[in-house]
Structure 1
Amino acid sequence: MRKNQKIHRNRWYEISLADGSTKIVKGQQSIPAARKKYKNQIRAIRRISLERWNQYQESMYGKYLAFLDLEYNTGEEPGIPTEIISVGIVVADRKNLKKKETYYSLVHPRINTTLNPYCMELTGLKQKEIDHARSFAEVFAEVEEFYRKWGIRQTYVYGNADSPVLRNNAELNEIPDKVTYLTDGIKDIAEELFLSLFDREGSISLEKLGRVLDIRLDGEWHNALYDAELLWRCHSAVIHKEIPENLLTQAKNELALKEIYMQNRRFDEVKSGFPEEKKAVTEEIIQELRKAAAPKSMKETAKLLALCDDILVLTGERPRYQKEYTELI
């Protein structure tokens, strides 16, 4: 995406209608749709400031917003539901993004009550902790009170999984209408943050985003409150332009290399049956190839890495050379 396209996408416009009301849209690409929707009703269209946009957001969604993360226990067998086992929330002032309060709770699953080994390793949670946790209905009744306390009408999440999982869990626990206060206001900001940083569409994991922005927190990944705090910090850093330029430049270069690398990879499925003695010889050939090629540009380097990893895959080994060049992404 070109730089000027990105700039126009991040501008805001106020549309004055014949009945005296106003509508606010984001980005020039929204104006044709608005002209069609309000045909013969538009009196004027004018660009507005970030301050005016923030005032509009506050009037629509309240003074405070929430950053939410959920952790789940996935089913290992077909038909076993994915159930929420913990919830973390950070409440921040919409205007200055200062943190106001946090919320964290474990959740006892209704059906899939035994944590699978992968889930325990990922989250650091123990089975006995989940066994003594409160039910989904109890926890989210408390979350609802927490939201009412702060007048929360908009919730930021990272990725598109939390909203459907939350809805499915509400249905599973027979209280689908009890979480509409939360699900109706959920907004996935993963692509928005990516666009703001890299001037193009796409996304990376929250963990990688934290590395690019050089944000370090006490705690462990995949704790629901830790991830909610990290999302809040990343969003705040982007909004306040607290972005380490050296790391951002490195990340952009790594993304470009990875893109060329992926375009030139030909084999994904690791083969089997290749003799072990020939694997060692193949490894030597790969190293000789890398020395002889001596790429002089990022494009040539990416193509060479793709070729070397394809050779590994054909011999029954997993690809690994591209990872040598990507510390952040």
Structure 2
Amino acid sequence: MNYIIFDLEFNQKYEDKKEHCLEKNQCVEKNNNLSLPFEIIQIGALKLNENFEKISTFNFLIKPTIHTTLHPYVENLTKISNNDINSSQTFPNIYDKFTKFIGEEEAVLCVWGIVDIKELLRNIKFHNISTNSLPLKYIDVQSHASKYFNSKKGIKIGLKNTIELLGIPLHGDFHDASNDAYYTAEVLKMIFNKNIKPLLYTNPSRSTSSVKEKVDMNGVFDQFKKMYKRSLTKEEKSMISLAYNMGRTKQFVIIKKEDS
């Protein structure tokens, strides 16, 4: 059995003022595509054998087809440029390479947070690609790391903080899919025990609740207006929306060591 430790980087809607639209609101509608709010722009992965020995690595940028202009915040965070992704292949091509990288042997997907599996499946579905080649079992390393450090219920530890607490040497910048996959693999090696067993993926993107919640972003913007006593620019509204969406994944939660 092999372990496929992978990480993703995403782009999301960004209204490019320089983009020319044929019809009114066309740009907004294109960047507001609800079927693919997070479009994958990088897949980084490691394949380890059952003894956690490295077999091979995988690292590809992806040319987006919906959110074709990188959000400035994403560009700054990942250090990926529009030129980088525009010279890359699209998702179907890279996903085909990824499944060949996984191979035909039994494998378990290992991720830092279940959101990466959810968004991978969302991107696969958007492009009408079969999921038959994707392993069904997974290990959420973030969840096990949070238990390892006795995080409070509902709070998951961040990758960078985990690396620091475990004393793992820095390998490269965070928010690079290849580097983050490497860090996730190192964490898994250090905290692995007999109680960490693969689970069967059941697609958590399907909500079991009959009530759908939606955040009133206009209300959020109004609150900021009251706080700063001025109107918000389009760039500020875009930044607030992006921060909210990224906060939902709890990737930046910091767990502090308690004094002994």
> Partner residue of 1:135?
90
Rounded Cα–Cα distance in structure 1 between residues aligned with 2:10 and 2:71:
10
Alpha carbons of structure 1 residues 273 and 169: separation in structure 2 relative to 1, 3 Å = closer
Of 153, 175, 184, which aligns to 1:222? 175
Q: TM-score, normalised by structure 2?
A: 0.64
- Counterpart of 2:186, as a letter, is R
Q: How far 1:181 moved relative to its partner? A: 2.7
Rounded Cα–Cα distance in structure 2 between residues aligned with 1:145 and 1:327:
40
For the residue of structure 2 that corresponds to 1:105, the secondary structure is strand
Is 1:212 matched up with 2:165?
Answer: yes
> Partner residue of 2:148?
196
Rounded Cα–Cα distance in structure 2 between residues aligned with 1:213 and 1:87:
25
Alpha carbons of structure 1 residues 65 and 116: separation in structure 2 relative to 1, 3 Å = same
Q: How far 1:200 moved relative to its partner? A: 6.2
Alpha carbons of structure 1 residues 326 and 230: separation in structure 2 relative to 1, 3 Å = closer
For the residue of structure 2 that corresponds to 1:215, the secondary structure is coil
> Partner residue of 1:66?
4
For the residue of structure 2 that corresponds to 1:110, the secondary structure is coil
> Partner residue of 2:122?
168
Rounded Cα–Cα distance in structure 2 between residues aligned with 1:189 and 1:148:
22
Alpha carbons of structure 1 residues 206 and 273: separation in structure 2 relative to 1, 3 Å = closer
> Partner residue of 1:158?
112
Preserved CA contact (<8 Å) 1:69 1:227: yes
Rounded Cα–Cα distance in structure 2 between residues aligned with 1:172 and 1:273:
40
> Partner residue of 1:88?
44
Preserved CA contact (<8 Å) 2:161 2:255: no
Q: How far 1:186 moved relative to its partner? A: 3.3
Rounded Cα–Cα distance in structure 1 between residues aligned with 2:118 and 2:151:
28
Alpha carbons of structure 1 residues 273 and 89: separation in structure 2 relative to 1, 3 Å = closer
Rounded Cα–Cα distance in structure 1 between residues aligned with 2:140 and 2:119:
14
Q: TM-score, normalised by structure 1?
A: 0.51
Alpha carbons of structure 1 residues 199 and 130: separation in structure 2 relative to 1, 3 Å = closer
Q: How far 1:328 moved relative to its partner? A: 6.5
Is 1:103 matched up with 2:58?
Answer: yes
> Partner residue of 1:186?
138
Largest Rg, 1 or 2: 1
Q: How far 1:199 moved relative to its partner? A: 7.5
Structure 2 unaligned runs (5+)? 15-30, 194-222, 230-253
Relative contact order: is structure 1 or structure 2 higher (C-alpha 8 Å, sep ≥ 6)? 2
Is 1:144 matched up with 2:99?
Answer: yes
Consecutive aligned runs of 4 or more in structure 1 exceeding 6 Å deviation: 325-329
Structure 1 unaligned runs (5+)? 1-61, 241-268, 275-324
Equivalence map 1:29-44=2 (5 Å)? none
Greater fraction helix = 1
Q: How far 1:82 moved relative to its partner? A: 1.4
Alpha carbons of structure 1 residues 137 and 273: separation in structure 2 relative to 1, 3 Å = closer
Alpha carbons of structure 1 residues 272 and 211: separation in structure 2 relative to 1, 3 Å = same
